[in-house]
Amino acid sequence: MSRAELRAVGLVRRYGGLTAVDHVDMSAPPGMITGLIGPNGAGKSTLFKLLTGVEQPDEGAVLLGDRDISKLRPDKRSRLGLVQTFQVPSLFTSMTVRDNLLVGVENRRRDYGGGLFGLGVRKNPSHEQVVDDMLASLGLSDLADFVAGSLPTGALRLAECARALCAHPDVLLLDEPASGLDAVETERFSALLRRIADAGVAIVLVDHDVDLVFTVCDQVYAMVGGKVVAHGDPATVRANPTVQSVYLAQGSVAA
């Protein structure tokens, strides 16, 4: 099936006198992992919020396919296929992992209003099936009946990702998905992201872990001071003098 591309066109976001995001253009095509890097205060997080709909841009537009979604709230964007995960995993802590995923499946379309008085509402067996398949494919089946609040971070990341996938995204926005994961877990997670992208999903990844971004991404945008200073495949961006100067100062990009 054809999936939509996420594009940002001339995005601007100002806070008082500060321009946090300054005329940013970017695109996240289907099947590719797009990375977003930059030092603290570069505007990554603001850009991310503009993409997810937590904040609205002062200028410019966010496009999903041909549709301008700049003014839509996050839940509406999600139903259109733009799904995000959070820096701190956002699982519904009092539910089981399975129910968490069910929420993802069930709200893909706006169809929950039907069952107010329990009339004619049958559990949709295909929903259950989607969830079970998803759990199995991410190796989460054993955790299905655990209450989410009782799981460690690694499992939560995975479960949140599974929940996002259950919402059947065209575009998956991941906010620092590797924070709190150890090396082995990070590696697994990268492999998972590749699998998701290969299925035709566009992934946008914001992370402090520059090495992760350079390893896993197909294209990288580097931001400094609200502007995109470099864009291209990881090798190109890594070689960019501005990126070098910013990150060499922090010593986190080994050549």
The site for other proteins (CB under 8 A) is made up of: 52, 54, 73-76, 78-79, 83-86, 90-96, 98-100, 102-104, 106-108, 110, 112-113, 115-118, 121, 123, 128, 138-143, 145-147, 149-152, 154-155, 158, 160, 163-164, 166-167, 185
Contacts 24+ apart (CB under 8 A), 23-26: 23/59, 23/60, 23/227, 24/60, 24/223, 24/226, 24/227, 24/228, 25/228, 26/221, 26/228, 26/231
Nearest to 173 by CA among 202, 130, 136, 135: 202
Smaller CB distance to other proteins: residue 167 or 210?
167
Which is closer to other proteins, CB of 184 or CB of 249?
184
Please identify which residue in the block is written with the tokens 């050549």: 255
Residue 12, CB half-sphere, CA atoms under 13 Å: how many?
A: 11
Cβ 67 to other proteins shortest distance, Å: 16
Written as six digits, the tokens of 50 are: 């503009």
Q: What's the angle, vertex CA 252, arms to CA 246 and CA 255, rounded to 5?
A: 90
Which is nearer to other proteins, 128 or 218 (by Cβ)? 128
Cβ closest to other proteins, residue 113 vs residue 251? 113
- CB-nearer residue toward other proteins: 79 or 208: 79
Residue found by looking up tokens 């039907």 in the block: 114
- Angle 9-14-18 from CA coordinates, rounded to 5°: 130
**Cβ of residue 175: shortest distance to other proteins, in angstroms?**
10
Provide, rounded to whole angstroms, the least separation between the CB of residue 22 and other proteins: 26
Q: How far is the CB of 14 from other proteins (least distance, A)?
A: 18
CB of 114 to other proteins, least distance (A): 8
Residue 188 CB, nearest approach to other proteins (Å): 8
| 63 phi and psi angles, rounded to 5 deg | -115, 135
Cβ at position 171, least distance to other proteins in Å: 12
In order of 17, 92, 198, 252, the CA distances from 138 in angstroms are 45, 19, 15, 31
Residue among 22 and 175 whose Cβ is closer to other proteins: 175
155 vs 217, beta carbon nearer other proteins: 155
For the chain, list the strands marked E by DSSP.
Answer: 6-15, 18-28, 33-37, 59-64, 67-68, 82-85, 171-175, 202-206, 219-224, 227-232
